[in-house]
Structure 1
Amino acid sequence: MTKTWFITGVNSGIGRELAEQLLARGDRVAGTVRRQGSVDDLRDTYGDRFWLGHLDITDLARVREVVDAAFGELGRIDVVVINAGYGLFGAAEECTDEQMVHQITTNLIGSIQTARAALPHLRAQGGGRIIQISSVAGLAAHPGASLYHAGKWGVEGFMEALAGEVAPFGIEVTLVEPGGARTSFAGSSLRLGRPLAAYDGTPAAAVRVFKDTAVPLPGDPAKVAAKVIDSAAQRPAPMRLVLGSDSYQGATAALRNRLAHIEPQRAGAAETDADTDTTTDATT
């Protein structure tokens, strides 16, 4: 049975892989790109099975317009994949105010707005799936990527809470947690702050190699895309889909470390609870 997918950012990386695989198997894809002409080959090959919208995800009003247009022209859309985004690396004070705002607007607010724009349509049609392409960077944090983590951690909290909000309407949500994949991320989708000499030789400076050095990454984007596609058929939907050995190792290490810091505080945490015998009855 064919499905219709809405995917932001289909010009490169995982978004492009998703579009190619879905179209090749006979599904319909509504894709968005910032740069017109970047996916002309898909339009030429697949014709009206590939609907295309021009969208800068930081233009929040335009997000609603494009999502509404896709549902209006295609009817039911089964899966909404929120994929558009990029990485901003560098210590927090190495990045400009403009870089900070653009990063958060793209990776967090743009993702939130895409989901919000799709929800009325998904509710009206009786259900569907939202798939948010996040990252292991939404579960584990490292120096030199604080602003990138801010967006990813934010979208993790939003989507996890959203899943509970929309479950009564038959809408399911999945967060995809890929590790490093062999895409163009380190080229066209990665930006750096202006290096400050104060950070030379510190942990935050380690990220500078990603832009100028061919760092070997384990993930195969075609395999990542195939797993994402398969997940859309899983019932119930997985809340998180961890993809890549590096993602699994990074996420589990971060979660264990967090618990190791929190669990010893159990007794101390309870010390701030109110004494039961001093509680005032609001009815008296």
Structure 2
Amino acid sequence: MRTHTWFITGVTGGLGREVATQLLERGDRAAGTGRNTDALDEIAAAYGDAFWPAELDVTDTDTDTVRKTIDRAAVELGRIDVVVNNAGYGMFGAAEKFTDEQIAHHLATNLTGSITVTRAALPHLRAGGGGRIVQISTYGGLAAGPGGSLYSAGKFGIEGFMEALAAEVAPFGIGVTIIEPGGTATGFRRNAVLSNPLTAYDNTPAAMVRGLSASTRRSPGDPVKVAAAIIAAAETEPAPLRVVLGSDSFQYVHQALTNRLDGITGQRDSARAVDIVQ
């Protein structure tokens, strides 16, 4: 079995670190990036030359750092087989209370950051004769809820980008897989950014997210199992476009898609009514 080389963003914690660790444990090589160099040093100390660390902020587009980092990884490691866009964070609360700066940074990380990484990696995947792009999304990429408007904006956007991209790069043997996990015990909620409270939203659905970071409710997803499923999905042929992970994710996604289809099914005649009559 050939050793694969993975490029993973956001390996300093959570699912990114778990995926990288499982890959390194089985003998693959991984280029891992993050903003916390201490965490990168810890992984490098444990796995030596099999791990290629690089400090990277995916929002840094002014200096072309993303492309330069991926180019350097491809040269020094010899190839890149799989790209995992994992870097991101949650932002929740009433939409009108977020600042312009918060919105810009959130979308730069969760949306355009993944787009930038993907665009920089594609020439290397094409040169290598194929590969896989794995996008870590969430059920919030298909099922939007109150208090999650900005988070879903980024996730809906990146899912649309990846779905279109899948058809673009298929002729080159490159697959695209979107991962949609449910709640997973990775500390995601503790690190979420919340908008400032607004009393007008008290006792409304959007107010439910205010206790998110302090919640003691147990997330149902096992991060070890989720990471293993991500790796398995990345190696499944043909590439599955979407992989739902977690019973909660399946429930939310299934209900959202069912509601969406129900909402337009009765519009067949009214949709045709605006066509030009030949």
Task: Output the TM-score relative to the length of structure 2.
Answer: 0.97
Is residue 158 from structure 1 mapped to residue 190 from structure 2 by the alignment?
A: no
**In the TM superposition, what are the counterparts of 1:184-203 in structure 2 within 5 Å?**
184-188=187-191, 190-203=192-205
Unmatched tracts of structure 1, length 5 or more: 277-284
Q: Measure how far apart 1:38 and its partner are.
A: 1.6
Q: 1:70: which partner in 2?
A: 73
Query: Residues 215-235 of structure 1, C-alpha deviation per residue, up to 9 Å, x if partnerless?
Result: 221001110000011112211
Instruction: After superposing the two structures, state which structure 1 stretch, 150-159 or 61-70, moved more.
Output: 61-70
Question: For 1:100 and 1:215, how far apart are their aligned partners in 2?
Answer: 27
Q: 2:127: which partner in 1?
A: 124
Question: For 1:4 and 1:184, how far apart are their aligned partners in 2?
Answer: 27
- Alignment-mate amino acid for residue 238 of structure 1: P
Is residue 225 from structure 1 mapped to residue 203 from structure 2 by the alignment?
A: no
State the SS of the aligned residue for 1:144: coil
Is residue 240 from structure 1 mapped to residue 251 from structure 2 by the alignment?
A: no
Question: For 1:238 and 1:92, how far apart are their aligned partners in 2?
Answer: 33
CA contact (8 A) 2:33 2:40 kept: no
Question: For 2:194 and 2:71, how far apart are their aligned partners in 1?
Answer: 34
- Alignment-mate amino acid for residue 39 of structure 1: L
Q: Measure how far apart 1:50 and its partner are.
A: 0.3
2:113 to 110, 113, 116: 110
Q: 2:270: which partner in 1?
A: 268
CA contact (8 A) 2:32 2:40 kept: no
Q: Measure how far apart 1:184 and its partner are.
A: 1.2
Q: Measure how far apart 1:39 and its partner are.
A: 2.8
Is residue 99 from structure 1 mapped to residue 102 from structure 2 by the alignment?
A: yes
State the SS of the aligned residue for 1:37: helix
Question: For 2:225 and 2:167, how far apart are their aligned partners in 1?
Answer: 29
Is residue 20 from structure 1 mapped to residue 44 from structure 2 by the alignment?
A: no
Unmatched tracts of structure 2, length 5 or more: none
Q: 2:41: which partner in 1?
A: 40
Q: Measure how far apart 1:72 and its partner are.
A: 1.3
Query: Residues 80-109 of structure 1, C-alpha deviation per residue, up to 9 Å, x if partnerless?
Result: 000000001011111111111111110000
Count residues with an aligned counterpart.
Answer: 275
Larger radius of gyration: 1
- Alignment-mate amino acid for residue 213 of structure 1: S
Q: 1:279: which partner in 2?
A: none
Question: For 1:201 and 1:32, how far apart are their aligned partners in 2?
Answer: 41
State the SS of the aligned residue for 1:46: helix
State the SS of the aligned residue for 2:36: coil
Question: For 1:100 and 1:163, how far apart are their aligned partners in 2?
Answer: 27
Q: Measure how far apart 1:42 and its partner are.
A: 1.3
Is residue 30 from structure 1 mapped to residue 31 from structure 2 by the alignment?
A: yes
Superposed CA RMSD in Å reads: 0.8
State the SS of the aligned residue for 1:39: helix
- Alignment-mate amino acid for residue 184 of structure 1: G
Question: For 1:198 and 1:155, how far apart are their aligned partners in 2?
Answer: 31
Q: Measure how far apart 1:195 and its partner are.
A: 0.8
Question: For 1:124 and 1:3, how far apart are their aligned partners in 2?
Answer: 15
Percent identity over the alignment is: 60
Question: For 1:187 and 1:142, how far apart are their aligned partners in 2?
Answer: 19
Task: Output the TM-score relative to the length of structure 1.
Answer: 0.95
Query: Residues 6-28 of structure 1, C-alpha deviation per residue, up to 9 Å, x if partnerless?
Result: 10000111001001100111110
State the SS of the aligned residue for 1:101: helix
